[in-house]
Structures are given as structure tokens and as C-alpha cells.
Amino acid sequence: MDLSLLACPQCQGTLVHEGDALRCAPCGKNFSVENGVPIFIPKMEQRGVESHRGRTPVWKKMLRGFSPPHHSLYFGTLCSSQGEGRELKDLLRAHKEAKILNVGSLSKDLKKLHPNIINLDICFYPNIDVVADAHALPFRSGSIDIVLFKNVIEHIRSPEIVMVEIHRVLKVGGILYIKLPFLQPFHAVPDDYQRYTESGMQELLREYDCLTKGISVGPGSMLAWIVREVLAIMTSFRSQRLYRIGIFIWGWLTFWLKYADILFWGNPLSGRVSSAFLGTYRKK
């Protein structure tokens, strides 16, 4: 990645590359670089989820072929929400030369969709470009053209601080692509803190001009996910093992509920019971 985009996350000072380290010229703080990846979080503070690290046991990989279909679809397209949606692909195609920061990338590699994507997360996942905390982004102010912030905000302790940081690193006229949850069960990656209504989303993004907004994951998908969770918990009898078995079994028995999204297409009330929203916003 382009190291000239980086700045000290503590004081926003200029970073000097010295061997396998980066040193902040103004404050003197040092940061390590491993295999070309700048690391701004000490290893003891890095938190992640094993399933996203490429360390999945062989037996789990073998069972994936028998797992139930994913419980959620992108609203209006009937494509699994495990992949990338049409809106994101269109955005990336329209900005081929943009410098793009993907905040909370996990192990997903979007470089196959755009060569200038910088993957950032709090743990040394595969395909990572920068290990850093979104509460203190290690980038120069006004250095990024597009920020991707999808399916992350619910896992952040202080979203208001992260939103200030994203606004800071975006260029004037830069674009924020955001996906955030409304009606979804608890899912910790590594933890889970909040949800947003349509009004809450509008308030969160009041410093931006709205370009597009809509439902990302609809009511049918919400129903499939929640019913699966409710039934798995009811039949777990307080056992984590039985709960995991229930998720597998009830997943097969309830995944089809997601196709009820077809009945909500074009209905202006669908946002009242949807699973997630998305939008693109321009920095004023």
C-alpha cells in the first residue's frame, strides 16, 4: 500500500519508514511493520474471530457442504448477502482510480473488485493491509477518496468517535458507503453493541449529503434469521452444544423464509421491519 497516506494515529504526525518500523517524527512513537503490513495495535490488544483467520478445522470445512443456505438475501436481487451487493460493485466500477479504505475488512479480499482498496482491521487477518483501530485511523486528513464501512458499526464501542475519524480522513467530496443493522440477532465479531432505525441512520450521517439509501437486507431475511435463532435457543435447554446443533437443523428448516422478501418489494413500509440498511453519502 501507499505509505504516504499514513499518519500517526496519536498525533496525526508524519511517519518515517525506518527498516521494519514506522516512527512518528513529531511525537517519536514507533510502530512495527510485518510483511509490509503497518501495525498500530500491539499484538496483546488485537482481537479477532478464529473463523475469519483462515484457521478453520478440517472437519468444519468438510461440513460446510452440508450447511444450510445463508439466511439472508440482498433485498431486491435474491443474491446471498454473504457476497458483495450490486450497489458496492457499481460504486467500485464507477471510481476506478480512487483510493479506497475498507474499514473492518475481516479476511475478505475486495482487491479482486478494485486494486486500490486498503483493508483495515483490528487483527492480522489474511489479506489485511493495515492493523489499526477505527477509533484512531492512521491516515492523513483528507487523504481517502472512498471509505467502505459495511456491517461494522454494530461491533464498535464508540461509533460517534469512529464517524468523526472517517469524516476526517475522507477528502471533501469523498464518498462513504455504509451498511448498518436494524433488526438482527446478537452476533459478536468480536462483540455487538447497537442497532439503527432509518431515522437513526439519518441522524448518524447528518454531516453528509445523501446520494443513495435503501434497504440492504429485507424483512423476509430478518424473519429467517430471527426464527432460526429463537428456535435454536428454545431447543438448546441452556446447552451451547445443543444450540449450535439447533442452528444447523433449524437453519435447514427456516432458510426459505428469506424469500418472503419478494412480497415486500416496492412497499414503502418495508423499512419498518428490515434487517439492515445501506447508503452512499458525500462529504460536504
Q: What is the CATH number of the domain that holds 164?
A: 3.40.50.150
Average pLDDT over residues 34-53: 73
* pLDDT in the model for residue 179: 96
Q: Answer yes or no: do 67 and 174 share one domain.
A: yes
User: Where is average pLDDT lowest: 57-66, 129-138, 169-178, 258-267?
Assistant: 57-66
Share of the chain above pLDDT 90, in %: 74
User: Where is average pLDDT lowest: 11-25, 219-233, 252-266?
Assistant: 11-25
Give the full edge-to-edge strand order of the sheet including 130-131: 15-18, 21-24, 30-34, 37-39, 130-131, 117-121, 100-103, 144-150, 170-181, 276-283, 208-217
Q: Answer yes or no: do 22 and 79 share one domain.
A: no
115-125 pLDDT, tens digit each: 899 999 998 88
* pLDDT in the model for residue 279: 96
Q: Answer yes or no: do 225 and 173 share one domain.
A: yes
Residue 5 vs residues 12, 81, 174, 193: alpha-carbon distances, Å: 11, 31, 15, 30
Any bridge partners for residue 175, and if so which?
A: 146, 282
**Which residues contact residue 275 at a Cβ distance below 8 angstroms, ignoring those fewer than 6 apart?**
72, 181, 182, 183, 184, 216, 217, 218, 219, 221, 222, 225
Q: Answer yes or no: do 135 and 193 share one domain.
A: yes
* Type of residue at 213: K
What mean pLDDT is reported for the chain? 90
CB burial of 214-236 (b: ≥16 within 10 Å; e: otherwise) equals: ebbbbbbbbbbbbbbbebbbeeb
141-170 pLDDT, tens digit each: 999 999 999 999 999 999 999 999 999 999
* Type of residue at 40: F
**Residue pair 271/193 in contact by the 8 Å Cβ criterion:** no
Q: Strands 208-217 and 170-181: what pairing? A: unpaired
**Residue pair 250/209 in contact by the 8 Å Cβ criterion:** no
Q: Answer yes or no: do 24 and 158 share one domain.
A: no
Q: Answer yes or no: do 3 and 44 share one domain.
A: no
Residue 13 domain boundaries? 1-39
* pLDDT in the model for residue 63: 61
Higher pLDDT, 161 or 44: 161
Does 199 have pLDDT greater than 60? Answer: yes
Closest by Cα among 274, 244, 273, 281 to 75: 274
* pLDDT in the model for residue 125: 82
Model confidence at 4, pLDDT cuts 50, 70, 90, reads confident
Average pLDDT over residues 244-266: 96
* pLDDT in the model for residue 276: 97
* pLDDT in the model for residue 111: 82
Q: What is the CA 89 to chain-centroid distance, rounded?
A: 15
Q: Answer yes or no: do 155 and 14 share one domain.
A: no
* pLDDT in the model for residue 156: 93
Q: Answer yes or no: do 8 and 71 share one domain.
A: no
* pLDDT in the model for residue 74: 96
* pLDDT in the model for residue 166: 98
Residue 233, φ and ψ in degrees, nearest 5 = -70, -40
Give the integer Cα–Cα distance in Å for 148 and 206: 17
Does 240 have pLDDT greater than 90? Answer: yes
Q: Answer yes or no: do 134 and 18 share one domain.
A: no
Q: Is 8 exposed, middle or buried (0-12, 13-18, 19+ CB in 10 A)?
A: buried
Share of the chain above pLDDT 70, in %: 92
**Residue pair 14/26 in contact by the 8 Å Cβ criterion:** yes
Q: In total, how many domains does the chain have?
A: 2
- Asked, as a colleague might, if the bond just before 115 is cis with ω within 30 of 0, I would say no
58-96 pLDDT, tens digit each: 555 556 667 899 999 999 898 999 888 999 999 999 999
Does 55 have pLDDT greater than 60? Answer: no
Look up the pTM and report it: 0.92
Q: Answer yes or no: do 201 and 64 share one domain.
A: yes
* pLDDT in the model for residue 19: 80
Q: Answer yes or no: do 255 and 152 share one domain.
A: yes
Q: Answer yes or no: do 109 and 213 share one domain.
A: yes
**Residue pair 100/109 in contact by the 8 Å Cβ criterion:** no
173-187 pLDDT, tens digit each: 999 999 999 999 999
